[in-house]
Amino acid sequence: MIADRVLPLSGIHNFRDYGGYAVEDGGRLRQGLLWRSAHHEQATDADLGAVDALGLETVIDLRGDDEREMHPCRRSDNFSARVLFAGGVTAGLAPHLQAAGGAIDVETARARMIDTYAGMPYRSALVATLRLYLAALAEYDAPSLVHCVAGKDRTGFAVAIVHRLVGVHEDDLMHDYLLTNTAGKIEERIAQGAAHIRARYGAEIKDEAVRALMSVNPAYLDAALATVRRDHGDIPSYAEAVLNFTPAMREALIDKLVV
């Protein structure tokens, strides 16, 4: 159930466990090890205490240096996890902000999000950090957290890759992705996103277009996965060719995460 997966934090959006799903060859993805969220810039002291209580060994930050400087994450004095990220700037903007340029109406917003997702499997900063993420998951048997800015686009793609590598069915993969639209303070997140989008591109962007940019849609993730299948056939082949994720690493990943 959604309530079982969401950590109710007041200052960190979309913080949830993405484990617990059945896998195709039998067994189930462990819970309490795989966490995802938006950035932690607005985290309260209580939020930071709840995060510390998870016992995170690794935090994977999918943002670029420019985004980290703009939205620095708060950490408690007790924070001890290692933070992994690829150096350098991103394409300049989070996907929802990149897609917002010129997206005045909802149809244009959705089309631009689909185009943005279609290129996501080859975004250089994202690819570099996904390599670090998958290597860490294969090596360490301890809780981890992956996040970007809004915790929905790059994070959603990263989680989808992990899900398929361990054998989570695509229906469940999509179910988890779409939880972003219902799990935790989405209206607050949309309102915050609207302020950033309108500050950058102007107040004429329609409310429906902002919602399309700040929510997730099956067509968005399908566009990224279609690129993967077009070029590599399936996600494991993409992971091996682009993310340097070997069959031995995949076996280690499954051994650590599936029970």
Does 132 reside within a domain?
Answer: yes
Residue listed under structure tokens 């309102």? 191
Does 9 reside within a domain?
Answer: no
Reading the chain (259 residues) residue by residue, the pLDDT tens digits are: 444 688 989 999 899 999 999 999 899 999 999 999 999 999 999 999 999 999 999 999 999 888 899 889 999 999 999 999 997 765 545 666 565 566 578 888 899 899 999 999 999 989 999 999 999 999 999 999 999 988 999 999 999 999 999 999 999 999 999 999 987 677 777 777 777 777 777 667 778 888 888 899 999 999 999 999 999 999 999 999 999 999 999 999 999 999 9
The CATH number of the domain where 158 resides is what?
Answer: 3.90.190.10
Q: Per-residue DSSP letters for 12-75?
A: STT-EE----BBTTSSBBPSSSEEEE---TT--HHHHHHHHHTT-SEEEE-S-HHHHHHSPPP-
In tens, the pLDDT along 175-222 reads 999 999 987 677 777 777 777 777 777 667 778 888 888 899 999 999
Q: Number of structural domains, the chain?
A: 1
Does 220 reside within a domain?
Answer: yes
Instruction: Dig out the tokens for 233 from the structure.
Output: 């056939």
Q: Which domain holds residue 26?
A: 15-255
Question: What's the whole-model pTM score?
Answer: 0.92
**Amino acid at residue number 56:** L
Does 59 reside within a domain?
Answer: yes
Does 219 reside within a domain?
Answer: yes
Structural contact between residues 29 and 19, judged by C-beta atoms closer than 8 angstroms: yes
